[in-house]
Amino acid sequence: MKNIPLLLMGCGGVGRQLLQHIVSCRSLHAQQGVHLRVIGVCDSKSLFFASDVITRELNDQTLYEVCRVKSNGSSLSALGDLGECIVYGNSESKRKVMDIAALLGKATGLAFVDCSASSETIGVLNQVVDMGCCVVLANKKPLTSIMEDYDKLVSFPRRIRHESTVGAGLPVIASLNRLLSSGDPVHRIIGSLSGTLGYVMSEVEDGKPLSEVVKAAKNLGFTEPDPRDDLSGMDVARKALILARLLGRRINLDNIKIESLYPDEMGPDAMSVEEFLASGIVSLDNDVQERVKKALLNGNVLRYVCVIEGSRCEVGIQELPKDSPLGRLRGSDNVLEIYSRCYNKQPLVIQGAGAGNDTTAAGVLADILDIQDLFP
C-alpha cells in the first residue's frame, strides 16, 4: 500500500468536504493501492497534528470531529482533548509546520494541501517546495502573488497541482498543459469563470433587473455574504491571471483590466451590504438593461468573461453571439473556449459546474492522487 502523508491548510467548506471525501473513498483507494494519511490540519489560529507524524495519522473519527468543530465556527483549539498534538498561535503553528516539512519532505514525502483563501500560506509554501514537498492548491492567492512567489512555486512543476483554482473540478489546467506540452500554442482564451456572474448575466438577459437577480442569487447561496465580492470581478481576474501565467505571460494582477459591476462609491468602504442591496444596486438597473437591449439589437448577448489574447488580459462584460458556446450559457455553469493551432476555427470547449465545495474538493482529491507516483 502506497502511503501519501498530507497536511491540510484551511478547514472551511472546501477543506471539510475534502476530509469527508478522503474518508468516504477509503475502500476505493485501498483497491487502487493508495492510502491518504492525514497527519495534520491547520486553520488561521492553530495546528492539530498526529502525535507521531512519521508513523501515525489522524484517524477517520478524528477527521469527522475536525469537520464538526469547524462547521460550528470553532477553532481547532477545541480539539485539545482528543489525545493528539496541538500548537496554538499563528507563528508557533508555522514553525511546527516547517519542522514537519523538514522531517518528512525528503524522507517519505509530504503533500501540502492549501484549501484556505488566505495569502498567509504563501511564505510557508515557498519554503516547503525546497524541502521536497508537493503542493496541491484550491487557494488562488499563492499563484496570483508577485512573479517571484509564482516562479518559486512552479519551479518543480511535477510537484505542484492546482486544477481546482480555475473551474473547480473541471479539467481546465490539465487540458491547457496537454496542449502546451504537445507544442500546440494557445493564442486565445475566452471564458465565463464565475458561476455567480454567469447566473446573473443569463438572468438579466431575460429582462430581470440586476438588483432583483443579485438579491435572488444571494438568497440561493450563489454569492458571497457580500455580493460585491463577486460583482467586483476580482475572483475572475485571479483565475485569468493563473491562466495567463500558464501561457507564459509575465504579468501581475494590476496588469489586468477589470470591470466591476458597481462603482467605487458603492464599495464596502462607503456603503454597508444592506445599503447596497436596498438602494445602491437599484440605481444600476437601467444602465445594465440598456446594455442588454443594445446587445439584443445586434443579435448578441452579454456575458461576464475573461479574455486572454496576445498581450491583452481583461475581465468584464462582453457582447457575444447568441449561438456561441458562451452565448448559449445558462445558469451557473462555467464555460471556457480555448483557441490554438489545432483548435483554430472550432475552439476546444470545456463546460460544467465550476463552483461548489463538493466539486472543488473532488478536484483537489484527484490532484492529490495524481502525484502518487512521487511517493515511495
198 is in an annotated binding site: no
User: Is 12 labelled a binding residue?
Assistant: yes
Spell out the residues 6+ positions from residue 1 whose beta carbon is closer than 8 angstroms to its own: 30, 33, 34, 35
Which is nearest to 301 in space by CA: 317, 285, 282?
Answer: 317
239 is catalytic: yes
What pLDDT does 89 receive? Answer: 80
Helix (H) or strand (E) holding 3: strand 2-9
Under the banding of pLDDT at 50, 70 and 90, the label for residue 83 is low
The neighbouring-strand residues paired with 336 are: 191, 350
Q: Kind and range of the H or E element at 142? A: none
Q: What is the pTM of this model?
A: 0.95
Cβ contact 374:365 at 8 Å: no
Is 11 annotated in some ligand binding site?
A: yes
Pairing of strands 348-353, 312-321: unpaired
231-244: pLDDT as tens digits: 999 999 999 999 99
Q: What average pLDDT does the segment 27-37 reach?
A: 98
- pLDDT-based confidence at 344, cuts 50/70/90? very high
Q: Is 359 left (phi over 0), alpha (psi -120 to 50) or beta?
A: alpha
Q: Give residue 80's pLDDT band: very low, low, confident or very high (50, 70, 90).
A: confident
Q: Write down the catalytic residue from 239, 257, 322, 345.
A: 239
15 has binding-site annotation: yes
